[in-house]
């Protein structure tokens, strides 16, 4: 099995990839533990804050059961920084071919995003088999994903943006969807307030929907 296949399998198994915004790297380990205890052992730590790399390093070192990766990766420098810190995957809200090619040439699993047929075509032609679909709600959600999936046969999507406990089941029921991403179980305000029990509880609720 290739490194990408192994990664895709792990993503499908977890079902929901929590999108994490951390202001303080001290919160990273309690967060990683809360997500894992709730049944979502994954974290897409976004490069929207200066704490991203240190947070990834902390989770990678102290939560070995958590599939930790990086999100909001916009350029190659951030991709390198994330991987140096221990990120096991790279996710972007759109795509930059430099990032995609750097990841693929370093055997780093990458999920770039595309919402139009042209964008998905460009990514498929780079050898990418799964793309993020962001922001999912604003770009037509499940109905747009179904239309794209009917053309890009075998290609799969990770919708993020507006996914929540109410619509998760519908998204996951579609075979073109490998997993969903989202912040609803670990909103930045909950992390800032140290509400890790609540995060664990919301993760458990999401994990129960995944296991269906
Ligand atoms: C992302 O980075 O993928 C989004 O911020 C997640 O969207 P959500 O906050 O609606 O879950």
Contacts 24+ apart (CB under 8 A), 113-118: 115/139, 115/144, 117/148, 117/151, 117/152
Yes or no: say if 59 and 94 are a contact pair by the CB < 8 Å rule: no
Residue 85 CA, ligand 1 centroid: distance in Å: 23
DSSP bridge partners of 113: 132
Active-site residue flag, 205 = no
What is the arrangement of strands in the sheet containing 90-91, beginning at the earlier edge strand? 110-111, 90-91, 67-71, 42-46, 16-20, 180-182
Yes or no: say if 204 and 38 are a contact pair by the CB < 8 Å rule: yes
**Ligand 1 site, residue 162, Cβ cutoff 6 A:** yes
Residue 47 CA, ligand 1 centroid: distance in Å: 13
Instruction: Say if pTM beats, i.e. exceeds, 0.95.
Output: yes
Number of domains in the chain: 1
Nearest ligand 1 atom to the CA of 182 is 11
Yes or no: say if 63 and 33 are a contact pair by the CB < 8 Å rule: yes
Active-site residue flag, 44 = yes
Cα-based torsion angle of the residue sequence 201, 46, 92, 108 in order, rounded to the nearest 10 degrees: -90
CATH number of the domain that residue 104 is part of: 3.20.20.70
pLDDT at 2: 86
Yes or no: say if 176 and 13 are a contact pair by the CB < 8 Å rule: no
- Domain limits for position 201: 3-211
Residue 153 CA, ligand 1 centroid: distance in Å: 26
Nearest ligand 1 atom to the CA of 162 is 10
DSSP bridge partners of 17: 181
Pocket test for ligand 1, best of 183, 186, 188, 206 (most atoms within 8 A of CB): 183
pLDDT at 1: 75
Of the listed 37, 132, 195, 201, which one is catalytic? 132
pLDDT tens per residue across all 212 residues of the chain: 788 899 999 999 999 999 999 999 999 999 999 999 999 999 999 999 999 999 999 999 999 999 999 999 999 999 999 999 999 999 999 999 999 999 999 999 999 999 999 999 999 999 999 999 999 999 999 999 999 999 999 999 999 999 999 999 999 999 999 999 999 999 999 999 999 999 999 999 999 999 99
Residue 1 CA, ligand 1 centroid: distance in Å: 30
pLDDT at 19: 98
**Ligand 1 site, residue 134, Cβ cutoff 6 A:** yes
């Amino acid at each position: 099995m290739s490194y990408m296949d192994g990664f895709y399998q792990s993503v499908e198994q977890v079902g929901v990839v929590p999108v994490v915004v951390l202001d303080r790297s001290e919160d990273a380990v309690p967060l990683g533990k809360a997500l894992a205890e709730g049944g979502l052992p994954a974290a897409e730590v976004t490069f929207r804050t200066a704490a991203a790399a240190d947070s990834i390093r902390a989770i990678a070192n102290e939560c070995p059961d958590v599939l930790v990766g990086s999100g909001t990766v916009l350029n190659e420098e951030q991709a390198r920084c994330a991987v140096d810190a221990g990120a096991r995957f790279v996710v972007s809200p759109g795509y930059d071919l430099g990032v995609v090619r750097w990841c693929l040439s370093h055997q780093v699993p990458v999920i770039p995003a595309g919402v139009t047929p042209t964008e998905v075509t460009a990514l498929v032609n780079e050898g990418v088999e799964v793309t993020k679909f962001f922001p999912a709600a604003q770009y037509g959600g499940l109905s747009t994903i179904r239309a794209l999936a009917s053309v890009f046969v075998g290609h799969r999507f990770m919708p993020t943006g507006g996914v929540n406990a109410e619509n998760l089941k519908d998204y996951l029921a579609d075979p073109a969807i490998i997993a969903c991403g989202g912040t609803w179980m670990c909103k930045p305000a909950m992390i800032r307030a140290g509400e890790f029990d609540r995060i664990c509880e919301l993760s458990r609720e999401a994990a129960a929907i995944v296991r269906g």
